[in-house]
Amino acid sequence: MTMELSVGQVAERSGVAVSALHFYESKGLIHSLRTAGNQRRYSRDTLRRIAIIRVAQRVGMPLATIREALDTLPDSRVPTRSDWSRLSATWKDELEQRIANLTLMRDTLDQCIGCGCLSIDRCRLANPDDTWGDQGAGAQRWAAALQQAKPRRRAKLPA
């Protein structure tokens, strides 16, 4: 049984398109070796790494955050259950913040008229007490208002 897989084998086994594998590799999420004929070959642990990438993407984790997490794993070893527990624990704060923001949006969306001005005195979603009204109108203020309302903490990965 060979320890290395071709790009086609990895695509078939992981359910990820070859173009996605090339993209993941270009972003430093997975790594391949080259044969004498310049063909990509992946170690078997790449399949587990791809599974981690797909789950993390599904919950909205940015690729840079996923790469940082994968960089903490030893090379050429299949990530274990304990590796996954450690990685996923570092993402919990960020996911909780996303859930809080989405809940706030869901619960206050009926107050939004969708104009993006954010200077309405009734906007509980992103402009409580019309705090942005003095600085002008504009939808670009919405994200900043959410950040100001609930600062996001980023967990550091344990070594």
Rounded to whole angstroms, the Cα distance separating 129 from 134 reads 11
| Biggest alpha carbon–alpha carbon distance for the chain | 69
Strands 4-6 and 40-43: antiparallel
Burial 88-125 (b: 16+ CB within 10 A, else e): bebbeebeebeeebeebeeeeeeebeeeebbbbeebeb
First to last CA, the chain: 33
More confident residue, 77 or 93: 93
- In this model, does residue 137 exceed pLDDT 80? no
DSSP letter at 134? G
pLDDT (tens digit per residue) in 43-64: 988 998 999 899 989 988 899 9
How far apart are the C-alpha atoms of 51 and 56, rounded to whole Å? 9
- pTM exceeding the 0.85 threshold for the entire prediction: no
Reading phi first (left if > 0) and then psi (alpha if -120 to 50, else beta), residue 34 is in beta
Q: Which of 66, 69, 78 has the alpha carbon at shortest distance from 157?
A: 69
How many angstroms separate the Cα of 53 from the Cα of each of 20, 86, 130, 145? 11, 15, 41, 30
pLDDT per residue as tens digits for the range 2-52: 589 999 999 999 999 999 999 999 999 999 999 899 999 999 889 989 998
